[in-house]
Structure 1
Amino acid sequence: MKTKVLVYGANGYTGELITRFAKDFGIEPIVAGRTEATVVEVAHRYNLPYHVFSLDDTEALVNALKHVAVVIHAAGPFHYTAKQMVEACIATGTHYIDINGDTSVFEFIKRYDAKAKAANVMLLPGSGFDVVPTDCLAYSLKEQMPDATHIEIAFLPRGGGGVSHGTATTMASKAGEGGCVRENGSIKRTPLGHKGKWISVNGKKIFAMSIPWGDISTAYTSTAIPNIITYTAMKPSVYRVLKFQFLFNWLLRMGWIRNIIQNKINKRSTGPSDEQRKNGKTYVWAQVSNAKGETKTAAIQTNDGYTVTYEAALIIARKILNGYCKPGYQTPAACYGASLIFELSGTKELQ
């Protein structure tokens, strides 16, 4: 029986957090990535074994996974890296989880459902802040209103120090591509921020705008609710500017513009400090409605996104090691229930 966990991308900001705290969850991971100097540095810092290989080296990738029970894939952008890792996991009988939040990547990995079932492998992307809290809230509301036809979901960060280098890189690679919603079961392209609204949560009114969060894919898989819009907090002044982004999306998609954005990202710190993470919180809000016009609303507070990510990924990896998993493509709440989010520290229900 395979019992090892490999963290690929352990030398990145979020991968390092997963590696650093793994022993608190009873896991001693194998450190892995493609850049030898930083992989070795992380491995030596935590006295862990390591592998150095590129995902494009199929032989090295398969050899690294042969004796591994679970991969925590933390090396994005996932629209460049998911295919290689998913196929290697299926080939070696290794369960796959990742910290992806890209709707298109969820839809892509879902195509491997039949192959994963045949190999008795679970594929569970979105095992971090993208999309565990939102998926659990959506699943809970669907249980309360089985005939729901519409759901709106929002995550509203309150501090936390901003995004990591990897997240920023993913965002840069998607610059100018707009947003999306789900209408009548199908994903529909929309301008980024095509809709804005004020949301009342925890005694505060927070403005939010629509974005293409991963729940456009995962909430549909978890709940079968056919109409989904996702939001994040945004200053109204910024939202008003973004309403005109469609006029220059063609420019943002130009390679040289994306390179300029990426160069600026490369000059920043890799991610928020421990103190910034400690002080960060996120409100997660959702509302469902049915054909009768009835509604149900729920909200929770979680720790900052990066703390949620490393805790959720490690809790799910531990469940898999204990034999608690399902073959094929899965979503967090559909596999582990709406209560999964309450297994993480700092989660509480809001009125």
Structure 2
Amino acid sequence: MTTWLLYGATGYTGKLIAQEAVERGMRPLLAGRSKEKVQPLAEELGLAFRIFELNSQTAEHLEDIDLVLHCAGPFEKTSKPMIHACLKAGVHYLDITGEISVFEYTHSLHEEALQKNIILCSGVGFDVIPTDCTALKLKQALPDAVELALGFDSDSGISPGTMKTMVEGLGGGNTVRKEGQLTDAAIGKHQRLIDFGRGKKSAMAIPWGDVATAYYTTGIPNISAWIPTPKAAIYAARLLNAASPLLSSEKVKQPLLKWVEQGVEGPNQEQRARSAAYIWGQAANADGVIKTCRINTANVYDLTVYGALEVTQRLLTGDYPSGSWTPAALFGPDLLESLPGSGRFEIDSFYPGNAN
């Protein structure tokens, strides 16, 4: 019997995943640091639970586990001890991060994962399944692409965990992939008009995880990530660049993190149900050929639940190559279309001298 562990089960997204898992007949072992939080949820769902910290002894708690789905952020702080515990225990590792540094670190452990005969796959939620699958779909449509832009538009609310990650990243600026290398850029420097699927909108480049993952999925050397942003907000973001050292200080972050703990709640089921996500991607080659791809999906949090559980189920029941992988590289672009609430990929083409 395969056994999988959901760590960070009492967070906003972790709880949604645990509830949906039970509805599907899955029996995760719930885990976290606080017995006061984990035990009531486990009892409510009729599941077993385990309490432990993330440290050098974490592997001891994974000896009877086949797979870990890690949902306790901020992942830049929590992923390393869990990844290394999984490597030590010979356990598959999944997480729902969107943090570039985590994707880069997970990728760096490919050879170790091969030696241990396990799979490491970061980003099995909205960060980054939709955009990662879109990236591979565009690569297949335009194999010689040299530029790739990815983005999404959604009216979704925000969870406490996501807000904490945003606070931790204050003052960090933007990141793009340029000629194969991650390159820092001022936030607000890159802007354009994009039709994500419901009309053209002003958009700004952001440090989204795809500047890491899409490169490993497609090999395309120049990658940027985008979200709709009003022009006034883009201008304000540029002004904030000067305040970067202040925003990065713990004196600013700690009060904000406390506010998140006390006052931020994620969207409820009704709010999620009426907030679809619109995924967009565009690839171009050196000859000026442009392929644009769009697809609609479920709300960002619902998709994270669906994506995380789908990948978990596939790894527990299927046979896949070991190593460190992105979701699309492991399962192909059709992974996204298979998830509840997802539409079908639609690709438009532009050829120089021909508007068709």
Give the TM-score of the pair, scaled to structure 1. Answer: 0.96
Q: In structure 2, what is the Cα distance between the partners aligned to 1:129 and 1:86?
A: 20
* Maintained 8 Å contact 1:101/1:130: yes
1:148-207: CA deviation from partner (whole Å, max 9, x where unpaired) = 0000101111x22x2111111111111101110000000000112221111124341222
| Structure 2 counterpart of 1:4 | 3
| Structure 2 counterpart of 1:189 | 184
Counterpart of 1:272 in 2: which secondary structure?
Answer: coil
Counterpart of 2:202 in 1: which secondary structure?
Answer: strand
| Structure 2 counterpart of 1:17 | 16
| Structure 2 counterpart of 1:236 | 231
Letter in 2 for 1:253: S
Q: In structure 2, what is the Cα distance between the partners aligned to 1:350 and 1:116?
A: 32
| Structure 1 counterpart of 2:113 | 116
- Bigger mean CA deviation after superposition, 190-199 or 146-155: 190-199
| Structure 2 counterpart of 1:258 | 253
* Maintained 8 Å contact 1:25/1:315: no
| Structure 1 counterpart of 2:37 | 38
The Cα of 1:36 is off from its aligned counterpart by 1.2
Gaps of 5+ in 2: 347-356
Is 1:99 aligned with 2:96?
yes
- Bigger mean CA deviation after superposition, 221-230 or 244-253: 244-253
Counterpart of 1:127 in 2: which secondary structure?
Answer: coil
Is 1:73 aligned with 2:76?
no
Q: In structure 2, what is the Cα distance between the partners aligned to 1:119 and 1:62?
A: 14
1:312-349: CA deviation from partner (whole Å, max 9, x where unpaired) = 00000000011232211000001000000011111113
Counterpart of 2:279 in 1: which secondary structure?
Answer: strand
Q: In structure 2, what is the Cα distance between the partners aligned to 1:90 and 1:25?
A: 28
Letter in 1 for 2:34: T
Q: In structure 1, what is the Cα distance between the partners aligned to 2:207 and 2:258?
A: 24
* Maintained 8 Å contact 1:154/1:208: no
Number of residue pairs matched by the alignment: 346
Counterpart of 2:163 in 1: which secondary structure?
Answer: helix
| Structure 2 counterpart of 1:307 | 302
| Structure 2 counterpart of 1:204 | 199
The Cα of 1:26 is off from its aligned counterpart by 3.9
Q: In structure 2, what is the Cα distance between the partners aligned to 1:324 and 1:207?
A: 43
Gaps of 5+ in 1: none
- Bigger mean CA deviation after superposition, 165-174 or 132-141: 165-174
Is 1:222 aligned with 2:217?
yes
Taking every aligned residue pair, what percent have the same amino acid on both sides?
36
Counterpart of 2:344 in 1: which secondary structure?
Answer: strand
| Structure 2 counterpart of 1:180 | 175
